[in-house]
């Protein structure tokens, strides 16, 4: 398959939320108390909600910026591409990058919307619903066929999360974020029957629980003085743990329709993981009393888990050891792992080097995403206008140049110290 003939649906990208997300969807009695985007004297823009302040870390919105400006410093909205927070500009960036559709994870509320959990459950639920309605009706609704809708959970309540899942499914949303380790957030673990209403609602509504790396809010670093490279290297490891925890739990046995996406977790580790779980089952099931109804753990994994990659050569090469129906491509715009706007070039190179046939390419680049997330872009967009080549032709003249956007460049040593300060604070908070 030629590069320009690829059809790309990304199952992992991100929104930097605009300031007006609550205006049209939150009851007026709550508007004064809702999170607000505040412009500070240092030029940065931060979300303020009660005692919580959340900035846009510069690894989260670096599309179109030189690598010298990467870091963890908060920044202003005027220092990032408008496509990060403006849906009309986002679609232009998608066209220029050859991407037909995206699924967009949240930023300031966190992947589990824990920020919205207050002592007033009605207010908290109103915030979750307002965010979800803005995302589904305004962001995704502005361009039908271009976005896979995704909802936030009411993470402080399994019953409310299940109810919200059913509510948004009726609006056509079949993806909900969920933490890779709810116990790390102070909630019951996967093994607790507390979450049964969520598992049942997901089965009933064909909703995928999209479990993103870092969704439990902990830095994956072994020591406070470790360089940031360690944290970045280990980010997918939490998903390895979550996959094992769920695979061996009672949950998949009791809820056979449950489906989980390991978002931004990579795929190269999956073949060894599957080999290891089968070996563990063979050697220890007699005393751990594991029973998969005559199936191997690796077979059960393929029934329940979606894996995702950006440019994972090893995973693409071993795609049939993973399961060709269990792999999706992701773009990660506008985060630092994103290859925008050159993702088609780099992905095509990997596909060519691994001699991937067209049928396998179609599954990994768009067909699996459509099936897992109950999403049909071709109901809105003719297939001939959905290819990399056609989308780029539609974006002719759109500026995709890499250029400096930061007003306050910091030295690498300052960025390292800022990272370590945040690491110390995170470790102290977890103790």
Please report the pLDDT score of residue 67 as a whole number: 78
What would the pLDDT profile of 12-22 be if each residue is shown by its tens digit?
A: 999 999 999 99
Number of domains in the chain: 1
Measured CA to CA, the distance from residue 330 to residue 150 in angstroms comes to: 15
Q: At what angle do helices 158-169 and 121-133 cross, to 10 degrees?
A: 30
How many Cβ atoms are within 10 Å of 356's Cβ, its own excluded?
21
Indicate which CATH number applies to the domain containing 47: 3.20.20.140
Q: What is the mean pLDDT of each run of 10 residues along the chain (431 residues)?
A: 98 95 96 94 88 76 78 75 96 98 95 92 97 98 98 97 98 96 92 97 98 70 67 78 94 97 94 97 94 97 97 95 98 91 97 98 98 98 98 96 71 58 52 40
pLDDT, tens digit, 9 for 90 and up, residues 286-328: 999 999 999 999 999 999 999 999 989 999 999 999 999 999 9
* C-alpha separations of 80 from 10, 89, 129, 254, 373 in Å: 21, 12, 27, 45, 30
Give residue 319's pLDDT: 97
Distance CA 4, CA 389 (A): 4
CA neighbours closer than 13 Å in the CB half-sphere of residue 425:
7
Domain that holds residue 327: 3-430
pLDDT at 430: 41
Percent of the chain with pLDDT over 70: 90
**Which residue's entry shows tokens 């001699």?**
355
Q: Which of 256, 239, 242 lies closest to 203, judged by CA?
A: 256
């Amino acid at each position: 398959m030629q590069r320009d003939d690829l059809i790309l649906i990304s199952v992992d990208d991100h929104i930097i939320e605009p300031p007006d997300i609550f205006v049209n969807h939150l009851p007026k009695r709550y508007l004064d108390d809702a999170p607000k985007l505040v412009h500070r004297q240092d030029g940065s823009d931060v979300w303020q909600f009660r005692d919580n302040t959340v900035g846009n870390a510069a690894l989260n919105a670096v599309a179109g910026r030189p690598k010298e400006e990467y870091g963890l410093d908060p920044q202003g909205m005027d220092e990032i591409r408008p496509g990060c927070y403006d849906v009309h500009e986002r679609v232009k960036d998608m066209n220029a990058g050859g991407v037909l559709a995206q699924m967009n994870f949240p930023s300031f509320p966190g992947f589990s919307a824990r920020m919205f959990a207050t002592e007033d459950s009605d207010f908290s639920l109103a915030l979750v619903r307002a965010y979800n309605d803005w995302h589904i009706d305004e962001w995704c609704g502005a361009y039908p066929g271009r976005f896979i809708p995704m909802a936030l959970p009411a993470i402080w309540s399994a019953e409310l999360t299940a109810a919200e899942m059913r509510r948004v499914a009726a609006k056509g949303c079949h993806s909900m974020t969920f933490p890779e380790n709810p116990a790390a957030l102070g909630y019951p673990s996967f093994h607790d029957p507390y979450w049964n209403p969520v598992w049942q609602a997901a089965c009933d509504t064909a909703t995928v629980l999209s479990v993103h790396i870092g969704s439990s809010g902990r830095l994956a670093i072994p020591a406070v003085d470790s360089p940031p490279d360690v944290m970045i290297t280990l980010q997918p490891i939490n998903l390895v743990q979550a996959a094992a925890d769920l695979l061996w739990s009672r949950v998949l046995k009791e809820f056979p329709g449950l489906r989980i996406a390991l978002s931004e977790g990579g795929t190269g580790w999956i073949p060894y993981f599957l080999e290891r779980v089968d070996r563990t089952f063979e050697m220890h099931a007699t005393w751990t009393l594991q029973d998969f109804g005559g199936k191997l753990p690796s077979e059960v994994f393929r029934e329940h888990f979606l894996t995702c990659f950006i440019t994972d050569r090893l995973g693409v090469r071993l795609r049939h050891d993973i399961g060709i129906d269990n792999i999706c491509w992701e773009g990660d715009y506008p985060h630092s792992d994103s290859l925008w706007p050159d993702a088609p070039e780099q992905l095509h190179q990997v596909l060519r080097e691994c001699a991937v046939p067209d049928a396998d390419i179609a599954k990994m680049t768009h067909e699996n995403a459509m099936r897992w997330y109950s999403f049909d872009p071709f109901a809105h967009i003719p297939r001939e206008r959905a290819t990399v080549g056609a989308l780029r032709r539609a974006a002719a003249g759109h500026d995709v140049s890499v250029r400096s956007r930061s007003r306050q460049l910091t030295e690498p040593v300052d960025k390292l110290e800022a990272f370590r300060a945040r690491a110390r604070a995170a470790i102290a908070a977890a103790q």
